[in-house]
Amino acid sequence: MNKSLQTRLSVWLSIAIVTTGVLAASVSFLLAREDGKDLQDQMLKQIAILVARNPGISMPIDPPRKSRGTHSLSIAETKITVLRLPEDNRPDWLPGNLKSGLHTLTTNQGHVRVFLLSEHPGSTTVVAQPTSARDEIAVNGALLELVSLLMLLPIMVWLTFRGVKRQFAPVNQLAGHLDAQNAERPTAIADQEIPNEIVPFVQAINRLLGRIDDLLNQQRRFIANAAHELRSPLTALSVQAQNLQQSETLDSVRERVLPLLAGVERARKLTEQLLNLARTTAEKDEIADVSISVLVREIIAECLVLSEGKHIDLGLAELASLRWDTVPGTLRLILRNALENALKYTPEGGEVTVRIYSDRENDVIEVVDNGPGIPDSERKRVFEPFYRIPGTAGTGSGLGLAIAKEASISLGGSVTLSNRLDGSGLIFSYRQTRTTPSEETDRSRQVN
């Protein structure tokens, strides 16, 4: 089937026009035929009155045939027979007991339409006409009207196609405007001369173009920030490598190797985080049935070295047993970043707890620490790539929370930050809406 809306609309309108036109022509034909018969009945009455009131008029009993070159409708053309009774002989087909008025009689030659007029006692005027002649005249008149209507149908169909094509011209112009847009700098489309039915669609496109422009700007900022963040450790590595070349003793080499290794580790860590951020926004891994308790315990085990190095009490509070259909690697990335941030900013001898529970609508995984927390004014900005709160101690790239946010979006969840009620730390929360089995299947398809 043709998917062109313009063609389909033109075809359907043409079908509607042709169907309506044929029906209208048919009804018009029937009405015109009946009007023709009524007109001839009135003609029979008028002839009878004219003959009865003017006895001197001579009317032929057997009318002559139509003369060549004559185009007016005469008594001869309509095959009308006029009789004056009792002066004229009563034909065999005319009964003697007919009352005045219109009658349809059956004769050996066919049906006859008869009008009788008795204005004087003993005097009757009879006007007769074969029904075949009446039908022929009525049908011929009706056919003229039918043909004129049918001849208009092709013109109406052509006008329909032309009109629909003309009305769709703004859509084609809109498509041309979109094609001419600069992919790097999309701009909104003017909707002043757009049909009202298309305005909501154009407005939706403009909103989409706005979001695309925002994403492109974010991407440009990300690339610029990534280049800046990579330049600093690579420059430091270059300087340290040059210093290493100038070492003259083994002790000097060992002394300068340590900062070089630390710089390599920072560069490796930054590169790994950049790759993780890119993967969370571009790749879609396979969904699997995941035990949240098992996954969290594995992540805690991986981070024990960090917690033991700072003598941090790292624990698990499992208030609900959860199983999700999710992407294990992406969920691990979220929780690992949250836990590493908590261990990094929690002071020595502090506490970090991973808490698993469910509320009325969501399943929740929280990482709770007793570190310095985050000011309310900074909670949104810390999710931006490469952003670090001014004055923050230690080294870092500012990518951990940005990665967690992008990964949560890809899973259909959300991450939030809040300070503890007693003001002694931060709560990182990942929420996943609780779903029924059928909803989980639908969400799985969307993630894939």
Which letter, b or e, does each residue of 6-45 get, where b requires 16 or more Cβ atoms within 10 Å of its Cβ? beebbbebbeebbeebeeebeeebeebbeebbeebeebbe
Going from N- to C-terminal start, the domains of the chain cover 5-60+75-80+127-165, 199-275, 285-447
Strand, helix or coil for residue 186: coil
Q: Which CATH superfamily is domain 285-447 in?
A: Histidine kinase-like ATPase, C-terminal domain (3.30.565.10)
User: Which two three-digit tokens encode residue 161?
Assistant: 């196609």
405: CB partners within 8 A, 6+ apart: 383, 415
- CB-CB contact of 343 with 303 (8 Å): yes
Strand, helix or coil for residue 181: coil
In a structure prediction context, what are the per-residue pLDDT tens digits for the chain, which is 448 residues long? Answer: 456 777 777 788 888 888 887 887 787 777 777 877 788 788 888 888 888 777 666 554 443 333 333 223 344 455 778 887 877 777 878 887 778 888 888 877 788 888 888 877 777 888 888 888 777 777 777 777 777 777 878 888 888 888 877 777 777 777 777 777 777 777 777 766 677 777 787 888 888 888 887 777 766 766 665 665 566 567 766 776 777 677 767 777 677 677 777 767 667 766 766 666 666 555 556 788 989 999 999 999 988 888 888 899 999 999 988 999 888 888 888 888 889 888 888 889 899 999 999 988 889 999 999 888 887 777 777 777 666 665 555 555 566 777 778 778 878 888 888 888 776 788 999 998 876 443 444 443 343 3
Domain range 199-275, CATH class? mainly alpha
Name which of 317, 321, 315 is nearest 293 in CA terms. Answer: 321
The separation between CA 9 and the C-alpha centre of its own chain, rounded to angstroms, equals: 17
d(CA 405, CA 416): 9
263: CB partners within 8 A, 6+ apart: 233, 236, 237, 240
